[in-house]
């Protein structure tokens, strides 16, 4: 502590003595100030120690409870954060305090309690963009995409942040509102130009709109940012597959497998593409590997059975279709009729 700070602290303590505070009060204020100072420099254990000491000496030193809640939250002790913010809320029911409590519940995965706290936060402070945003995140994770989008829109109206743009675009994509998804992803890219996921998602949306040239252009942009980005190879391959350009699809899927050799979707789709161009041994190899990795993947058994049938290995085909049926794949029921 600098000489100036020590002098200030002494003068502050002298002021407290002259103001009629008890010795415990003075020690509480001293501990509180130390706790806040440690909190500001992220020395969380020391911050908690002194703040806990402050409230043990003076229970009505309410600011200590708020700072304890912050310290415990940053430490990841969310139950302790809730406990302390509850005490603080008894005398300070501002929106920001409900928001902090909501974030703690959110991290505890108590989503109903988190949503309730976020609701109180915006009632107290209608400009609490963070409360709308994290409500939207909860709804998104629960697959309530319409409610998610509504909350992201409210957050954006208050604060036009990149994170809000991206999440709103994701919600619109899930709602099959591809035009708006592209618009908000594009707005996001203007602010954050090197996000591979955003370009990949734009490409996916364009592919759903049958705008394949724009789709491929965005997949390529994603791969310019990260040449190992497997999702972009997968989506680029699917565009080619849907256009019945199976060699180009195989090329894209194979490139993706160079970076993720056990990727379920790449293996399956390349196997199907090999099947389409009558490269049955290559298709079988992909489905063999897929089944070894994911023995409960019924679709893989269907596809390998189809390959076996084309290779005139009817007994093996029927065994695979039977296995698919046992795994609940209804498509196999019709195929099994040919095995009688």
DSSP string for 49-84? HHHHHHHHH-TT-THHHHHHHHHHHHHT-HHHHHHH
Domain assignment present for 171:
no
Least confident span in 123-132, 169-178, 216-225, 329-338: 329-338
Average pLDDT over residues 200-225: 97
What would the pLDDT profile of 51-101 be if each residue is shown by its tens digit? 999 888 888 888 999 999 999 999 999 999 999 999 999 999 999 999 999
Q: What is the CATH number of the domain that holds 3?
A: 1.25.40.10
- Main-chain dihedrals φ then ψ at residue 62, nearest 5 degrees: -65, -30
- Main-chain dihedrals φ then ψ at residue 127, nearest 5 degrees: -95, 20
Residues comprising the chain, all counted: 340
Average pLDDT over residues 14-31: 68
Domain assignment present for 151:
no
pLDDT for position 186: 97
Average pLDDT over residues 17-37: 76
What would the pLDDT profile of 306-321 be if each residue is shown by its tens digit? 999 999 999 999 999 9
Report the chain's mean pLDDT, rounded to a whole number: 93
Domain assignment present for 234:
no
Whole-number percent of the chain with pLDDT over 90: 81
Domain count, the chain: 2
Specify burial of residue 180 (Cβ count, 10 A radius: 0-12, 13-18, 19+).
Answer: middle
pLDDT for position 27: 84
Concatenate the DSSP letters of all residues of 302-315 into one string.
HHHHHHHHHTT-HH
pLDDT for position 9: 57
Average pLDDT over residues 323-338: 91
Give the separation between CA 212 and CA 339, rounded to whole angstroms: 40
Whole-number percent of the chain with pLDDT over 70: 94
Concatenate the DSSP letters of all residues of 142-196 into one string.
TT-HHHHHHHHHHHHHH---HHHHHHHHHHHHHTT-HHHHHHHHHHHHHHSTT-H
- Report long-range pairs for 180-186 (Cβ below 8 Å, ≥24 apart): 181/205, 182/206
Indicate whether 5 pLDDT > 70. Answer: no
Indicate whether 287 pLDDT > 50. Answer: yes
For residues 177, 182, 187, 190, the Cα torsion angle rounded to the nearest 10 degrees is 160
Indicate whether 340 pLDDT > 80. Answer: no
* pLDDT tier at 1, thresholds 50, 70, 90: very low
Last residue of a domain, one of 92, 111, 138: 92
Indicate whether 4 pLDDT > 80. Answer: no
* 214 contacts 179 by C-beta, under 8 angstroms: no
Domain assignment present for 306:
yes
Domain assignment present for 20:
yes
Domain assignment present for 174:
no
Domain with 305 in it: 281-340
* 74 contacts 44 by C-beta, under 8 angstroms: yes
Among 44, 99, 50, which Cα is nearest to 76's? 44
Average pLDDT over residues 6-20: 56
Domain assignment present for 166:
no
pLDDT for position 3: 59
* 302 contacts 322 by C-beta, under 8 angstroms: no
What would the pLDDT profile of 233-253 be if each residue is shown by its tens digit? 999 999 999 999 999 999 999
Last residue of a domain, one of 58, 92, 126: 92
Report CA Rg, the chain: 30
pLDDT for position 17: 53
More confident residue, 188 or 27: 188
Domain assignment present for 313:
yes
Sequence-ordered list of residues with C-beta below 8 angstroms from that of 62, at least 6 positions apart, any chain: 87, 88, 90, 91, 92
């Amino acid at each position: 502590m600098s000489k100036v700070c020590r002098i200030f602290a002494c003068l502050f303590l002298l002021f407290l003595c002259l103001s009629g505070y008890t010795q415990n009060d003075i020690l509480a204020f001293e501990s509180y100030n130390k706790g806040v100072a440690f909190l500001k420099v992220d020395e969380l254990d020391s911050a908690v120690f002194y703040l806990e000491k402050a409230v043990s000496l003076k229970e009505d030193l309410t600011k200590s409870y708020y700072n304890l809640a912050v310290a415990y939250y940053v430490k990841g002790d969310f139950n302790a954060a809730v406990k302390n913010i509850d005490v603080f809320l008894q005398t300070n029911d501002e929106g920001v305090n409900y928001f902090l409590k909501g974030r703690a519940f959110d991290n505890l995965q108590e989503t109903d309690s988190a949503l309730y706290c976020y609701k109180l936060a915006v009632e107290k402070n209608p400009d609490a963009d963070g409360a709308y945003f994290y409500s939207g995140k909860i709804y998104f994770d629960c697959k309530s995409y319409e409610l998610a989008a509504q909350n992201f829109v409210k957050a954006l109206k208050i604060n036009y942040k990149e994170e809000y743009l991206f999440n709103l675009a994701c919600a619109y994509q899930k709602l099959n509102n591809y035009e708006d998804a592209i618009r908000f992803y594009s707005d996001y890219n203007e602010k954050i130009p090197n996000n591979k996921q955003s370009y990949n998602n734009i490409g996916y949306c364009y592919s759903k709109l049958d705008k394949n040239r724009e789709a491929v252009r965005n997949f390529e942009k994603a791969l310019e940012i990260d040449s190992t980005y497997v999702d972009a190879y997968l989506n680029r391959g699917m565009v080619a597959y849907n256009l019945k350009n199976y060699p180009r699809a195989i090329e894209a899927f194979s490139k993706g497998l160079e970076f993720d050799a056990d990727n379920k979707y790449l293996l399956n789709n390349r196997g199907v593409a090999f099947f389409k161009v009558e490269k049955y041994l290559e298709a079988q190899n992909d489905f063999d590997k897929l089944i070894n990795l994911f023995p409960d993947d019924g679709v893989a058994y269907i596809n390998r059975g189809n390959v076996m049938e084309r290779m005139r290995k009817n007994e093996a085909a029927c065994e695979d279709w039977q296995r698919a049926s046992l795994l609940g794949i209804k498509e196999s029921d019709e195929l099994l009729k040919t095995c009688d």
